[in-house]
């Protein structure tokens, strides 16, 4: 009789669905957390009716050792088998965000907020002045340049400090012993490497031109010539563009039209291809480059050649504009 009653009770606790939750309820399962603690947590939030019943079911079905950590959202109206299936399958909440090459800290913060990953202001503040930035010696400029572009999977509950730590870890993983040896050969420290790579990233549109652009920058640095890179004139440490900067080359500490050598730090977060271009620049005599309409560049060895290239591109642009205007009138 007692066994029959226990069977009826277990059947109820296992297979009777809970109420529907409005709003959904969230539970975090930590790595190496015991199933007993997990069951108690789920019962506390009303996601299962009995922690004991869940423990018994998990042991009987072999699910006890297969629960995956993560942040889970439950909408209710589920049975113990449904809840366990989520935990075993790892159906935890996840936000997938892609950080392209060449974004600034400010732009990354905006993209993360759009993906549901916290507050952009809080992320930017921690990326500029947070404890991890201080511990890594990245002040006063912060993590600009060191947040590795990639596609990331985060729980929406992930705090900004952990997101920053993950992105920084991906960057530092690229600094292999071979990379550090090459930096030593080129007399580059970490900041100079990332700063130059960020400029290559912002200038290059055609992937194959990155080593050539890096080669031009090295040539100009060797001769003591200003780098005169337009993206540095656009950059503001506060993360805002200066719309007229290219036209008037507004003076700032980052503007390589008004300073000699490299700016004090990176102007964006470069990808691995741009880092490699700085480590292995193309051998070139070019000192100048100017962009074509298709994003590729004309490289020149002298200022006279550069002026001719600019004139030819302007002429082509005017001819194309005129042809488009004529075509528009004949339609």
Measured between alpha carbons, how far is residue 227 from residues 50, 193, 199 in Å? Answer: 69, 15, 10
Quote the Cα angle for 76-80-86, to 5°. 75
Domain end: 89, 106, 137, which one? 89
Q: Are 190 and 279 in contact (CB under 8 A)?
A: no
Give the pLDDT mean for 108-123. 90
In the chain, % of residues over pLDDT 90: 56
Give the residue among 67, 61, 72 at the shortest CA–CA distance from 88: 67
Domain of residue 40, residue span: 12-89
In a domain, 2, yes or no: no
Q: Residues 157, 142: contact at Cβ < 8 Å?
A: no
Domain with residue 147: its CATH number is 3.30.1490
Which pLDDT tens digit goes with each residue over 33-69?
Answer: 899 999 999 999 999 988 988 898 888 888 888 898 8
Short-list 228, 225, 230, CA closest to 257: 228
* The Cα angle at residue 237 between residues 244 and 144, in degrees rounded to 5: 125
Residue 85, pLDDT > 60, answer: yes
Which of 89, 112, 139 is a domain's end point?
89
Does residue 145 sit within a domain?
Answer: yes
What band does 120 get if pLDDT is binned at 50, 70 and 90? confident
**Residue 331 tokens, joined:** 């339609």
Same-domain pairing of 181 and 168: no
Model pLDDT, residue 143: 96
Beta-strand relationship, 297-300 and 288-291 = antiparallel
CATH number at residue 82: 3.30.1490.480
pTM tops 0.75: yes
Which residue, 8, 9, 71, is CA-closest to 38?
71
Q: Phi first, then psi: what are they for 276, rounded to 5°?
A: -65, -35
DSSP string across 32-80: T--HHHHHHHHHHTTSSS-HHHHHHHHHHHT-TT----EEEEEEE---H
What's the structural domain count of the chain?
A: 3
Same domain, 99 and 185: no
- What average pLDDT score do residues 196-205 get? 96
Q: Quick: pLDDT tens for 243-299.
A: 444 444 445 789 999 888 999 999 999 999 999 999 999 999 999 999 998 889 999
Q: Assign residue 102 a region: left if phi > 0, alpha if psi is -120 to 50, beta otherwise?
A: left
Helix, strand, coil percent content, the chain, rounded in steps of 5: 50, 10, 40
- Model confidence at 144, in pLDDT bands (50, 70, 90)? very high
Full DSSP string of 281-308 = -------EEEE-TTS-EEEESSHHHHHH
100 with 84, same domain: the answer is no
In a domain, residue 329? The reply is no
Supply the pLDDT for residue 2. 47
Residues 152 and 40 in one domain: no
What is the average pLDDT across 96-125? Answer: 92
**Least confidently predicted of 9-13, 106-110, 119-123:** 9-13
Summary mean pLDDT of the chain: 87
| Same-domain check for residues 218 and 289 | yes
Residues 168 and 181 in one domain: no
Does pLDDT of 138 surpass 70?
Answer: yes
Same-domain status, 135 and 188? no
């Amino acid at each position: 009789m007692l066994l029959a009653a226990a069977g009826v009770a277990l059947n109820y606790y296992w297979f009777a669905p809970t109420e529907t939750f409005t709003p959904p309820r969230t539970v975090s399962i930590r790595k190496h957390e015991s199933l007993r603690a997990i069951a108690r947590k789920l019962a506390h939030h009303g996601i299962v009716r009995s922690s004991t019943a869940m423990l018994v079911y998990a042991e009987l079905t072999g699910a006890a050792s297969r629960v995956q950590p993560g942040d889970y959202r439950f909408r209710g109206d589920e049975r113990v088998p449904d809840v366990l299936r989520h935990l075993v399958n790892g159906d935890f909440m996840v936000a997938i965000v892609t950080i392209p090459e060449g974004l600034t800290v400010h732009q990354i913060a905006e993209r993360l907020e759009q993906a549901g990953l916290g507050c952009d202001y809080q992320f930017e503040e921690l990326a500029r002045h947070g404890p991890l930035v201080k511990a890594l010696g990245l002040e006063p400029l912060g993590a600009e340049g060191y947040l590795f572009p990639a596609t990331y999977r985060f729980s929406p509950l992930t705090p900004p400090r952990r997101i920053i730590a993950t992105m920084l870890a991906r960057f530092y993983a690229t600094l292999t012993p071979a990379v550090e040896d090459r930096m030593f050969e080129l007399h580059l420290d970490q900041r100079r490497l990332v700063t130059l790579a960020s400029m290559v990233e912002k200038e290059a549109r055609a992937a194959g031109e990155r080593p050539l652009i890096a080669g031009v920058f090295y040539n100009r640095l060797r001769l003591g010539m200003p780098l005169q890179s337009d993206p540095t004139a656009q950059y503001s440490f506060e993360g805002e563009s200066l719309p007229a900067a290219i036209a008037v080359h507004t003076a700032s500490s980052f503007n390589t039209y008004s300073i000699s050598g490299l700016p004090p730090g990176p102007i964006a977060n470069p990808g691995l291809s741009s880092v490699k271009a700085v480590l292995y620049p193309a051998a070139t005599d070019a000192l100048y480059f100017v962009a074509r309409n298709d994003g590729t560049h004309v490289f020149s060895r002298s200022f006279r050649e550069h002026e001719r290239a600019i004139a030819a591109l302007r002429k082509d642009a005017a001819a194309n504009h005129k042809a488009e205007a004529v075509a528009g009138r004949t339609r």
